[in-house]
Amino acid sequence: MNGRDLALRLLVELAKYHRIQGSSGLEDAAELIKDRLDELGIPSEIIHYYYNREYDKFKAPIGWDLEYGELEWGGRKITTDDTPLLVVAHSPSGEARGVAVHVGDGEGSMMDVEGKIVMARGNPYVVYRNAVGSGAAGLLLYRENAPGDAFPYMGLFLKEEERGIPVMSIPRELVDELAGNVVSMVVQSHFRPNAKMPVIIAGDDEAKVGVISHYCHPYEMYNDNLSGTVANILVAKQARAFHLFVPEYWGSFAYMLDRGGKLAQESFVNLDMVGENQSVTGSTLIQVNPPHFTMTPLEAFIYRSLRSVFTVDTFGGSSKVWGIRMDMANYEAGSDHDVLLAFRVPTVMLNQWPDRFYHTNQDTLDKVSLEMLTGIASAVAKSVREYGERDSELVGNYIELKNARRRIDGVPRSIASTGGGRVKKLFRGPIMDQQVLANTWIMDVLNEGANRSLFLSLIPITMEYADDVGSITNMVANEYPGVSQEMINRYITTLEELGMVKLSD
């Protein structure tokens, strides 16, 4: 079976599972991945960690399975037979009936919502907590940046002790229609306190390069991230590498806590949303590099390999130019590379962004380009094979290219900070659970600009390489020159108040 046919087969097979974190569908998908690796002659093993357990300073969410959901109003009915995304992941089971009211983002105080069905667009967990505390009967969430008729994928990631009201996801275009009407909600689900968190390892655990991808997310959601999972399998067919297939963040975090100290790999590449049909999704392939202070030669090999696969001749044949939309970017958070970097493992991410159908029920098979997916897999496999060459000229040229890009883009010089106290990090990894920040000013600004990357990942990663405020500030500012020293200091002080770092003179 050629790579294209194999990719299509794997995509269709895996899409049948509702692969929500902590679900039985996730466990079944893990077994299928292992079965297919075994069929291809690639040695593999499933390591079982568990949800609803403490991992360092953070507790993983409780497991959860969806049985059925139903939303009814004005003679209309939508059920999970139409789309399982109707029910927000980890929603408690329950029934609710009341008048639907719109409360904006829902992240502030809610007035006069007792016994009503609240509609909001904000952070799902924050809105959920506010709605429960305000006596709402049910919660309907929507996203402003999703297609108007799409059901967005959202998750609450609740802990075992957090029980409450039913929560559903609705298309943005239904908000005005539902407002003021009596709405009935039915959610049938159950929590799984001992749900497995399967991590699949495959390939050669002594290889110098590793490839990681997450295989979670809902039924029939393809680009995110079945495309990365399938590309990872295709790389395993073509090159000698070590492969990780994980539930996003929690699987990689549990694995690194358990076995990260024994990794033989010098660098990893994270494959996340790599199969985009760019003409449909509006995406650009982006090579997201690790922070400059943890650069890896793998960056250069991946960049060259991508050019070898995706460039075309100019009209006169004198040059090669990109045949797809492609670019590189400084470090940004958002996937399993964050975890590996926080354990001092240099990791490149290949990702396509933006995607107009991201995290919705419209991330369907027709949004996937098999040529893109297999091409990226081939390029990554090529870079893995060539990694051992230690081509210093290539790496030097690549570094100059990166530096030239910063100068051309007018990236300002970073601030020069000196002094400041010592910082001792008291937790492992990035901020795995943003709920620990729930009652701080950080949550109020988390979604502004690059703050999510900055606060949840970049500063915690930098603390693995520097232990004084001045050095941390300089290293962070080299990545994000617009960040202020005052904000970094305030963030670190807040972490001290939360018991997550220790400051000293």
CA-to-CA distance for 340 and 212, rounded, in angstroms? 10
pLDDT, one tens digit per residue, over 481-498 is: 888 889 999 999 999 999
Q: Are 102 and 175 in contact (CB under 8 A)?
A: yes
| CATH number, span 3-59+196-408 | 3.40.630.10
Q: Is residue 418 over pLDDT 70?
A: no
* 248-252, 277-281, 432-436: range with lowest mean pLDDT: 432-436
3-state secondary structure of 299: helix
Asked if omega into 354 is within 30° of 0 (cis), the reply is yes
In 3-state terms the chain splits into helix, strand, coil percentages (rounded to 5) of 35, 25, 40
Best CA proximity match to 388, nearest among 261, 238, 241: 241
What is the pLDDT at residue 416?
65
Q: Is residue 415 over pLDDT 70?
A: no
Place of tokens 């807040």: 494
pTM reported for the whole predicted model: 0.97
Do domains 3-59+196-408 and 63-192 share one topology? The answer is no
Neighbours of 481 (CB within 10 A): 14
Is 63-192 CATH 3.50.30.30? yes
Kindly write down the DSSP assignment for every residue of 157-194, as one continuous string: ---TT-----EEE--GGGHHHHTTSEEEEEEEEEEETT
Kindly write down the DSSP assignment for every residue of 19-86, as one continuous string: B-TTSHHHHHHHHHHHHHHHHTT--EEEEEEESSSEETTEEPPPEEEEEEEEEEETTEEEETTT-GGG
pLDDT, one tens digit per residue, over 357-382 is: 999 999 999 999 999 999 999 999 99
Q: Is residue 162 over pLDDT 90?
A: no
**Gyration radius of the chain's alpha carbons:** 23
Helix H or strand E segment including 272? strand 267-272
Torsion angle of the four alpha carbons 11, 14, 15, 21, in this order, in degrees rounded to the nearest 10: -130
- Report domain extents, the chain: 3-59+196-408, 63-192, 422-504
Q: What is the mean pLDDT of the chain?
A: 96
Q: For the packed helices 298-310 and 392-408, what is the interaxial angle rounded to 10 degrees?
A: 80
CA-to-CA distance for 379 and 374, rounded, in angstroms? 9
